């Protein structure tokens, strides 16, 4: 028989359970409690939160290095667009949410890390009707950053065409917590022995990676960025292109596998990796099979921009 426990005994059983990854948790916040905590065993989400059982919510992930939080306002603005698309507002003003991001990162007492913002429909039932939830939920977590080693940037990474198709456009442009296709892409890449899987739309055009944007540099030195139709507009990619303005021409357009293989450079871009060179696609080399100067320059500019323009935490 399964025991039926009183609340105190049940809570103790929960606290005694192992918590994989707890060493990476620096601090977290739940809006209902209205306080920050550093004990990962108390980092819990109600089972009836529609964020959990319906995937009804959006999220953002921000990076900080040397006490500087990068692209804070662009991330908040993108979350506003995502939440507006699913008719969801946070349980506090957006400006307050911005302050909470800084407070949680500060409470983690680390010079570098990541902050995850989770905005959900909230607890209130196990149906699908959003009216079950009287108040949206808001969770923030600061956790350790494990950056890729320099060797990955020096040698480059591998990629292939994933069997997982690009998301439908109306879903791809929302940073929802439903990352099941993304997970399947990542799992498949690992099984096949590639670093990154890339998805393509119904017309055979490149969309994005599992958590990264992609772009190529053609033989004329022009950066080609997939139109954000079946992909999420990345804050890091957009900033990288802005920083390269005046040095490198940019074109937003659709391109195929053939154009990837004919490119001079190929790269994946994202919050945790900045700009990472891709030296092969479907086991065929890109350009001379070595990292190129445009990717190197974008990463250099992004790193300098963080240190110069990042929002101070402390």
Q: How many CB atoms lie within 10 A of CB 279?
A: 21
Tokens found for residue 126: 């196990």
From 175, 245, 264, 283, active-site residue: 175
Q: Is 304 exposed, middle or buried (0-12, 13-18, 19+ CB in 10 A)?
A: exposed
| The pairing of beta strand 196-200 with beta strand 137-143 | unpaired
Tokens 């399964």 — which residue?
Answer: 2
The answer to whether the beta carbons of residues 225 and 207 sit under 8 Å apart is no
- Is the C-alpha dihedral spanning 155, 268, 289, 189 positive or negative? positive
Using alpha carbons, select from 77, 88, 82 the residue that is nearest to residue 50. Answer: 88
d(Cα 109, Cα 101) in Å, to the nearest integer?
Answer: 13
Is residue 175 among the annotated active site residues? yes
d(Cα 58, Cα 79) in Å, to the nearest integer?
Answer: 7
Please identify every residue annotated as catalytic: 175
């Amino acid at each position: 028989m399964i025991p039926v426990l009183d609340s105190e005994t049940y809570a103790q059983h929960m606290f005694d359970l192992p918590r994989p990854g707890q060493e990476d948790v620096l601090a977290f916040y739940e809006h209902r409690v209205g306080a920050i905590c550093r004990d990962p065993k108390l980092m819990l989400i109600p089972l009836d939160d529609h964020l959990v059982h319906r995937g009804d919510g959006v999220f953002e992930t921000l990076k900080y290095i040397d006490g500087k939080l990068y692209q804070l306002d662009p991330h908040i603005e993108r979350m506003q667009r995502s939440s507006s698309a699913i008719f969801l507002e946070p349980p506090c003003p957006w400006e307050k949410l911005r302050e909470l991001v800084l407070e949680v990162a500060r409470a983690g007492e680390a010079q570098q890390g990541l902050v995850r913002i989770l905005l959900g429909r909230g607890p209130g039932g196990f149906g699908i009707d959003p009216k079950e939830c009287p108040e949206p939920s808001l969770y923030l977590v600061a956790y350790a950053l494990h950056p890729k080693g320099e060797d990955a940037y020096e040698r480059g990474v591998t990629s292939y065409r994933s069997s997982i198709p690009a998301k439908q456009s109306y879903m791809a442009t929302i940073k929802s917590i439903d990352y099941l296709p993304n997970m399947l892409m990542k799992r498949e890449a690992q099984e096949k022995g590639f670093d990154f899987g890339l998805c393509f739309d119904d017309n055979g055009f490149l969309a994005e990676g599992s958590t990264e944007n992609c772009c190529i540099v053609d033989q004329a030195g022009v950066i080609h960025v997939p139109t954000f139709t079946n992909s999420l507009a990345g804050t890091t990619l957009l900033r990288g292109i802005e920083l390269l303005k005046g040095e490198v021409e940019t074109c937003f357009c659709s391109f195929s596998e053939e154009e990837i293989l004919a490119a001079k450079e190929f790269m994946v871009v994202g919050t945790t990796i900045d700009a990472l060179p891709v030296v092969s696609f479907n086991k065929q080399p890109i350009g001379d099979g070595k990292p190129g100067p445009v990717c190197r320059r974008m990463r250099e500019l992004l790193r300098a921009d963080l240190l110069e323009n990042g929002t101070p935490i402390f």
